[in-house]
């Protein structure tokens, strides 16, 4: 049965694996990627420039699709890009700038400020893959540490259950523990307490951030090569906050302005598109993006819950289908 969703939307990809890049939760191989592309229908896939042109002219069709890659991961270059080239396809690449260096070498140790690596999100992800037999083992250890820390004493059980239910509705591939982990990380603990707890766990297991950071991200050189080849590089914030909507207007503006200036400098052209990290945004976010001249923005799900108004030639809340849902359908 062919892919049948009939609204213009993006297909969202993150992690890939091969002999160089470890298989992690949700990652796919080059063969998996090819199957997804064949399933959705190559004839439906627009290049970024075609997509932006049709959007600006209010001519996107229900069957139109585009391909999007989030987070600037090196595995996307090593595994997905050769497949795209073999199919003659171009894509959107949405990157957060905090993990990129000004050098041509890999950005494995980039984004450090005062010794702190910006890309903790990916480092923690790799930690739970390499140091635990499976994800459930990590969750048991993490939940135990949260309980022992006392950092979430007094948390509202009803709020927890409601959030877990909402997350699993929006992202049906999440297990209950996947959703519980994200509730604790983003709501109950918050960034500072979460990173403190994860640092303690990594120290206990003998994990070193700089070692885990190797080969995780692209370099500025990779971005320039993609841009020169006709792909479109877009915004994804500077440090990838998992709850960006909770930040002040000033902090959100700084996140996107720093991201914008970095990509403009590296690629030699003004960014026109973006995707919302962790789908976290509010009216302030949309106002900031419009001020920066961004007129195409992508959500991370297929739900239409728009909070802003889209003009005929600007939409900052375009739907995207997570590749994980397509993978489930293929199985």
Provide the strand spans (E) within 71-208: 92-95, 112-113, 116-117
Share of the chain above pLDDT 90, in %: 76
Tokens of 285: 């976010």
Output 135 or 103, whichever has higher pLDDT: 135
Report pLDDT for 186. 86
Question: What is the pLDDT confidence band of residue 303, given thresholds at 50, 70 and 90?
Answer: confident
Task: Report pLDDT digits (tens) over 65-112.
Answer: 999 999 999 999 999 999 999 999 999 999 999 998 544 444 444 444
Q: Average pLDDT for residues 56-64, to the nearest whole number? A: 95
Q: How is 67-104 classified by DSSP, letter by letter?
A: EEEES-BHHIIIIIHHHHHHHT---EEEE-GGG--SSS
**∠ at Cα 121 (327, 215), nearest 5°?**
80
Q: What are the sequence ranges of the domains in the chain?
A: 9-116+216-330, 132-206
Residues 6+ apart with CB under 8 A from 21: 15, 27, 74, 75, 78, 79, 215
User: Are the C-beta atoms of 277 and 234 separated by less than 8 Å?
Assistant: no
Report pLDDT for 305. 67
Task: Report pLDDT digits (tens) over 237-293.
Answer: 999 998 999 999 999 999 999 999 999 999 999 999 999 999 999 999 999 999 999
**CATH 3.40.225.10 is the classification of domain 9-116+216-330:** no
Backbone angles phi, psi at 154, to 5 degrees: 90, 5
């Amino acid at each position: 049965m062919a892919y049948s969703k009939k609204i213009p939307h993006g297909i969202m990809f993150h992690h890939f694996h091969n002999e160089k890049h470890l298989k992690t939760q949700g990652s796919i191989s080059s063969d998996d990627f090819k199957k997804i592309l064949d399933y959705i229908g190559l004839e439906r896939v627009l290049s970024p420039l075609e997509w932006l042109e049709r959007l600006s002219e209010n001519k996107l069709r229900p069957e139109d699709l585009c391909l999007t890659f989030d987070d600037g991961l090196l595995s996307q270059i090593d595994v997905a890009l050769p497949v795209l080239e073999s199919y003659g396809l171009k894509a959107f690449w949405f990157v957060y700038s905090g993990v990129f260096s000004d050098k041509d070498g890999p950005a494995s140790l980039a984004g450090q400020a005062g010794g702190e690596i910006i890309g903790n999100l990916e480092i923690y992800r790799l930690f739970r893959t390499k140091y635990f037999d499976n994800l459930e083992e990590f969750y048991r250890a993490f939940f135990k540490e949260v309980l022992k820390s006392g950092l979430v004493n007094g948390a509202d059980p009803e709020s927890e259950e409601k959030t877990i239910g909402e997350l699993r509705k929006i992202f049906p591939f999440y297990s209950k523990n996947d959703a519980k982990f994200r509730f604790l990380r983003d709501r109950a603990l918050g960034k500072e307490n979460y990173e403190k707890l994860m640092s303690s766990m990594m120290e206990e297991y003998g994990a070193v951030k700089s070692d885990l950071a190797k080969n995780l991200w692209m370099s500025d050189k990779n971005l320039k090569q993609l841009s020169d080849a006709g792909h479109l590089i877009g915004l994804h914030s500077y440090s990838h906050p998992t709850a960006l909507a909770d930040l002040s207007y000033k902090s959100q503006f700084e996140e996107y302005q720093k991201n914008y200036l970095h990509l403009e400098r590296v690629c030699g052209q003004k960014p026109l598109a973006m995707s919302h990290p962790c789908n976290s945004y509010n009216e302030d976010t949309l106002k900031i993006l419009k001020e920066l001249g961004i007129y195409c923005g992508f959500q991370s799900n297929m739900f239409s819950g728009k909070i802003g108004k889209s003009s005929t030639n600007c939409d900052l809340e375009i739907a995207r289908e997570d590749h994980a849902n397509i993978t489930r359908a293929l199985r």
